[in-house]
Structures are given as structure tokens and as C-alpha cells.
Amino acid sequence: MPTLVLIGHGMVGQRFLEAAAERGLTRSHRVVVLCEEPRPAYDRVQLTSYFSGTTPEELSMTDPEFITAHNIELHVGDPAESVDRATRTVRSRSGLEFTYDTLVLATGSYPFVPPVPGKDATGCFVYRTIEDLYAIEEYAKNHATVGAVVGGGLLGLEAAGALKGLGLTTHIVEFAPRLMPVQVDEGGGAALLRTIGDMGLSVHTGVGTQEIVTGDRDAVRAMKLSDGSELATDLVVFSAGVRPRDQLARDMGLKVGERGGIAVDAECRTSDPAVFAIGECALAVDGRVYGLVAPGYEMAQTAADAILGTAGDGFTGADLSTKLKLLGVDVASFGDAHGAAEGCLDVVYSDSRSGTYKKLVIGSGGELLGGILVGDAEAYGTLRALTGTVPPVAPEALVLPAGAGAPAQLGPEALPDDAVICSCHNVTKGEICAHTTLPEVKKCTKAGTGCGSCVKLIGQLLPKSGDEGLCGCFALTRQELYEIVRVKRITTFAEVLDGHGREAARGGEGCEVCKPTVGSIIASLAPSIGADGYVLDGEQAALQDTNDHFLANLQKNGSYSVVPRVPGGEITPEKLIVIGEVARDFGLYTKITGGQRIDLFGARVDQLPAIWGRLVDAGFESGHAYGKALRTVKSCVGQTWCRYGVQDSVRMAIDLELRYRGLRSPHKLKSAVSGCARECAEAQSKDFGVIATANGWNLYVGGNGGMTPRHADLLAQDLSDAELIRLIDRFLMFYIRTADRLERTSTWLDRIEGGLDHVRDVVVHDSLGICDELESLMRAHVAHYRDEWAETLDDPERLARFVSFVNAPGTPDPTVRFVPERDQIKPELPLISLASLEGTAAR
């Protein structure tokens, strides 16, 4: 079996392995990978998210099952040190030797550090790997209050955002006259400069770094700039561009470019036919070294095709379009962004107040050649796909905001089927429209799994379902029913059904879908519409499922669980003793949950009032483990006890849990608060999660740790306590208002048109003008909260429902039985007779 050796395991290296597996090369070849870093491939594009709580494991792009399934021999922390082309032998740092038939170089690039005096001083860093970030974080925590970034390009701005997030006073030094000089023009740079300046970062453009001045311990003290000024700083991050890592190729005697890069042909083959080069280390046939991931992916696929012997057109160049969010600012460029074509004209819209700048480059024939978008990149996907064509609307319609006198905006339906929607994986509109859901598109085409900038456009292209009614009783959606109940202040299901149900359903009883849905809506809006918020009063009781019907969770043997609320996971010894005594006296099984509460299992329905009577007397209240409502707000110990904590996470978790307790929603809600970026409370797997920073709180939304895990998205950062609570109020009420029945925030965020950007516009920027209303609804909920169990215990009529048999109230259910296990109890399962097993076998 021939051997294929891959040197380098970054994003492009991993994409090559996937392409090789798709083409069967992992079955026909022995595949060996030598990786320099101490971990497999990870998402370097999202590297900065580490500082907002993303773990290295979450950044990983390497599924161990994929490596195992394809028999790939992966050696991490063991780079190739030499290659003998004559014997086709690769030797690693640890001394391993491999003889290859085909060699693929994916060695990437290295950060360029200007050759200035003091560049190696203590406190100087580059911004390239996870290990670099570890080092920056540790040094900033113990030795720095001011940081400076050399370079105002993509990575430079990300590095500046990271330093700001670490609590440092931050400066950006850029030699060019504007930020991001490669991607944006003078107007775009000015808009970006204003916005970043408003964030509290100091930007120095048109000056270079002359020297790093050191002090005690040879540590950074200041920077001397080319204009003669001196900038005091404790920490310097060099982010002045990258250079291709081609030294191994040079040592091998391969042809390299005059300014670096391993020369390759259209098949990504080097001057040695047995050796290929892909990604940032390669000099393509058009004389360019590509520093973006999309061209690297295309080269990976091209090389895999060439090795298989099925190469097509090859790689002759790539689209350099990019869309990023830098320091919270949307920045995008596509096509001929700087207007290099002869005879082209610019169409420009600029609003310095909002920090918005849009420029389109139009050719002499009216075709769209390229453009730059700063502050508002909403139309990026559509505009990039239209590049090279004459748009069906006037150019000004493509840049003017809605309501500014422009003709109708251009939608994705105007795109041709061959328009490339996902440039990372070269997926067209036609390929996307062959599918019906976003997960299906991602699985079958990989579109949306790269940089992610195309996800919103993909969602707009996917078909909408025909009948979006809630059920057979209602042609209206849950969202429409919510608005009807809110505006008309309807307090009963019968009124909703008779006034707004399908004609055939009016006067009926509803179904198992609409009854709990409308019941939840009425419960969510109860304080605002004048309804009784108690879920078991009057008609509301008939709308609840079994769990809500008895304010407890039904278990597999007919018993119920009892879950008292423990806000933030904080509990006194006295309350712990009460829980222990209740569990002992009623013979209940006890378990500590992942949400920092104690579950008590095995209660008969007739025992629930007595159990809760003792718990309520001790100061406990319902934990709502039975309802589609807030469950828990998990917390770490925070700065009060932990040496890494930067905020009081326990206090915040308690405040949030007490604020949102009892809030009825389309699905259960979970939350967590972490006291630092180490994320011990796992806030990014929650519906809304909070992570402390040196400057306040970062708010994440849409996480899910359940059957379909989803990493939460950053909604806003560095918030004060008041800002944080205000945004969570708005987010939760907007979710309750617009989500479908039984829809988690994670699914809702992926489904809702516009996704996270739209939600951010609504709840942060109040784009719909509804935030006052959302806050008012939450205030009403908080003001009218009542503990359901405390109210139940005070009302004999309500207590009357808690019986096993209506006609024999004092008789316990004899079918609820238990057996001992590990000094506690477990449900006794029904015995299966040998005869029944034999009958099953016979059948």
C-alpha cells in the first residue's frame, strides 16, 4: 500500500484529510500526519473567541472518530525536521522516519515580526496559536495594565479586542494611513476608525515601530514610534502580517518564489512531482500566496483530486472576499474592492453617525465589480454572489438603507443558480436549494461550516413550509397566537379557540398540541393581560400536561420527583439538613443534579403536599423542574473565593434566578454564570449564559447541551450589571414572543430569519422599537411572581387534587413500589415471566 505523508495539520491540512477520505485515498493509502502543535487542527479563524470563553476543545476541528475510522496515523507535537527527496524519507523531531510515495506540505505561515531593537524582550508576543494566547493571557494578568498591538489588519484588530477584553488599556499602531489597508479604502478606514475609537481603543495610524524600550528584567516599558513619540506600554503583540513557512521546502531543494512561498502548478504540485503544497505555504500559479482559509480549502481539494488522478480545472486563483466581525463591527470586502479596473465608477453611502460605510465598484457596462461594507454588511452574501453581473436594480438600491428613498432591496431570489453562496466550500445556490433544512445543507455540501458568513443567506434560500399553522385546530402560528392574546388581552383558551381557531374546531376542546401551547402563552402574559398566573386555577388546569398538573415531574413507575429551587447553587447547612430530613422521613431517593440542585425521587402524588409543606416552611420554593420555564442558573464560586475570578458570579446567578423564576416559555430555560473566562459553570452550553470579564459581563445566547449540542453565541460584551439584566429581559421576552412551540433557544436562533444578527439588532439596538414593551412585560412578570407550591398549600380546594384515587382519597397507589439499591431506593420494575420471554422468542 502506498504511503501518503501530510506535513502540517492546521485547518487546510484537516480539510485535505477530509477530501482524501471523500475520494477514497485513506482506503488506498497509508496516511501519516506530522503536526507541530501539541493539538490537532483547530479553528484559527475563531481563535480570538478563546478570550470570551471558548475552550481549545470547542475550537477543535478534528473528530477523533474521523481519525480512527480512516486509519490516519496522527502524530501531534512532532513536526517534520528533514526530508530526503532522493530516498523519499521524512524524519520527525522525535526521530520517527517515514518513507513516502506522495508528500503534501501544509506548513502554513508564521507571524512576521519587524526587525526592531527589543523585539525579543519579555512581554513581546505574536498572535498565531492557542499557546500564544495562553502566554498573552498569563502575562497580562500578572504584569501588564497597558497593551499595544503592532498592526491594524485583521489579526491586529482581533488581538486588540483580546487585550481590551483582558482589561488592558489598548493601543493599535498601524504603519499604513488607515486600519485594514488591504480590505478597505480611505472611507471605510475612517468609518472603522471612528467606531473603534468610540470603544475606548487608541489608534495610531501612519506611524511605524522603531524600537521596543525595556526596563527591569528586560521587560517591555514603552515603544518608540517613527514620528518621534514614545508610547508607554507593558505588553506588545506583533500582528504585522504573516510569511509562508517554506524553510523545509527550501532545505529540500524545491523551487520557491522570490518573495517566499513554495511554487506550485495548477494541481498544487511542486517542482518535485511527488510533492504537493497547499494553503498559506504555497505560491499559486497566479503568483499569489493566499492567506485566507477558503483558497486553502480549494487547494486541499485540488491536491486530493490530483493524487487520485482526477484533477479538473485545478487551482489558478481564488476569491479574496471576506466578511468579519472585528471588535463587534461588521467589515466586508469583495471582488475589485479598490476599483482597479479601467473606467469603473464608485457608488458610495456613508453615515458617520452610525459608523456605516458602503461602496460599490461598478464597471463601464454596469456590472458589479466589487465593494466594501463597514458597519452594515447585511447584504454581503447577495452582493458577493452578484459580482461580475449587472444587478437587476439600480446600484443605489444596493447601498441605501431602507426608507432612504431607494427602490426595493434586492433579495436572494434574484441570484442565479450558479451563484457561489459559500466561498469556503465553493457551493452554489442551486446546490443549496436542492435541500430543505440548514442541517441538511451543512451535512451534504459543507456550506456554512467554514467562516459562517453565508449561513444567513442560506437560510433565506431554503423553502418555507406550506401550512405553518400550529395544529389542526389553528391555522395561525404560535407567534401569531401570542400577539392575539397579548393585544386582545384574552385570558381563556376557549375564547382563543372560538375567536381564532379553524371553523371546524370552534366550540370544541382543542388538542394535545394547542391546549398546552395556548396555556403557556396565557401563563407567560398573565400579569400583563389580567389573567390569574396560577396554572391550576379554572380552565388553566385543563391545559396543563401531567407534570404541571401536579407541580412535579412524573417518573417511570408513577411516582413523582420533588425539586426545590436552590438559586445559583448556594445553600445553607440548615437548608441542606431540611432536605436530608425530608428525604429520610419520606424514604426518597436523593441526587445532586448538574444544575446544582438536589432532586428527591419516589414521592407518591398524595405525599407531595406534606413534603412541600416542610420545604416551604424551611424557606424553599418550587424549582419549576416540571414546567416549560426557567430551571436553574448555575454558577462557579467567582471572585469571592476563586483566585482567578474577576466578578461575583454567585451573586449574579442568584439575582438572575430570582428574577426569572417561574417565567413560562416555549421550552425549558437553563442559564449559568462563570466568574472568569475559564468557564467552570459551562455558561456557553446554556440558553443564556454569562461570563465575567475584567470590565463587566459577556452575554451568550442560544446554547444547548442536550441531544443536539450547540455552542452559545456572543450577544454583547463588557456589560454592567444593569445593562446585562436589561438585555436578558429583552432577549427572553423576544424569544417567548417569536419562538415556535417546544422550540429551544438554540433551534430558534438558527431558524429565525437573520439569526443572531437580527436578534442583536432587536434586543441591543432596538431596531423594531419594541424594547420598552419587552422590558415592561418582564417587569410585570417579576412584580407578580408567586410561588406555586406556597399558594397551593394555602388552599384546601387546590390540595384536593393531590390524591391517587378520587373515590378513595386516603388510599396510596399500590402499584408504586421500590427496591433497595446502594443504600437508597429505585423503582421496582414489572416482572417478565419466562413464558412470555419464550413466547417472544418463538414469534
What residues are designated binding site for siroheme?
680
Other beta carbons less than 10 A from residue 614's beta carbon? 15
For 837, the 3-state DSSP assignment is: helix
CB-based burial label for 350 (10 Å; 0-12, 13-18, 19+): middle
DSSP secondary structure, 562-627, as one string? E-B--GGG---HHHHHHHHHHHHHHT-EEEE-TTS-EEEEEE-GGGHHHHHHHHHHTT--B--TTS
Lookup result for grid cell 423553502 = 463
Task: Report angle CA 363, 368, 369 to the nearest 5 degrees.
Answer: 70
**Do 547 and 626 form a contact (C-beta atoms < 8 A)?**
yes
Q: Which amino acid is at 705?
A: G
Known binding-site positions for [4Fe-4S] cluster: 636, 642, 676, 680
In order of 293, 657, 747, the CA distances from 425 in angstroms are: 10, 43, 24
User: What is the Cβ-side half-sphere exposure of residue 16, based on CA atoms within 13 angstroms?
Assistant: 35
The DSSP call for residue 261 is -
For 206, the 3-state DSSP assignment is: coil
Give the torsion sign (CA, 457, 463, 465, 466). Answer: positive
CB-based burial label for 132 (10 Å; 0-12, 13-18, 19+): middle
DSSP secondary structure, 431-476, as one string? HHHT-SSHHHHHHHH-TTSSS-TTHHHHHHHSPPPS---SBTTBSS
Task: Report angle CA 180, 183, 189 to the nearest 5 degrees.
Answer: 50
Task: Report angle CA 37, 40, 45 to the nearest 5 degrees.
Answer: 85
Other beta carbons less than 10 A from residue 444's beta carbon? 13
Contacts of 712 (CB under 8 A, 6+ apart): 683, 684, 685, 686, 688, 689, 700, 701, 702, 703
CA distance 124 to 118: 9
Altogether, the residues listed in the chain come to a count of 843
User: What is the Cβ-side half-sphere exposure of residue 33, based on CA atoms within 13 angstroms?
Assistant: 30
Q: Which residues pair with 422 in a beta bridge?
A: 427
Q: Which residues pair with 204 in a beta bridge?
A: 173
Known binding-site positions: 636, 642, 676, 680
Q: Provide, for the chain, the percentages of residues in helix, strand and coil under a 3-state DSSP scheme, each rounded to the nearest 5.
A: 35, 20, 45
Contacts of 234 (CB under 8 A, 6+ apart): 123, 143, 144, 145, 146, 147, 168, 219, 220, 221
CA distance 216 to 220: 8
Of the candidates 552, 613, 605, 623, the residue with the CA atom closest to the CA atom of residue 578? 613
Of the candidates 521, 459, 522, 483, the residue with the CA atom closest to the CA atom of residue 748? 459
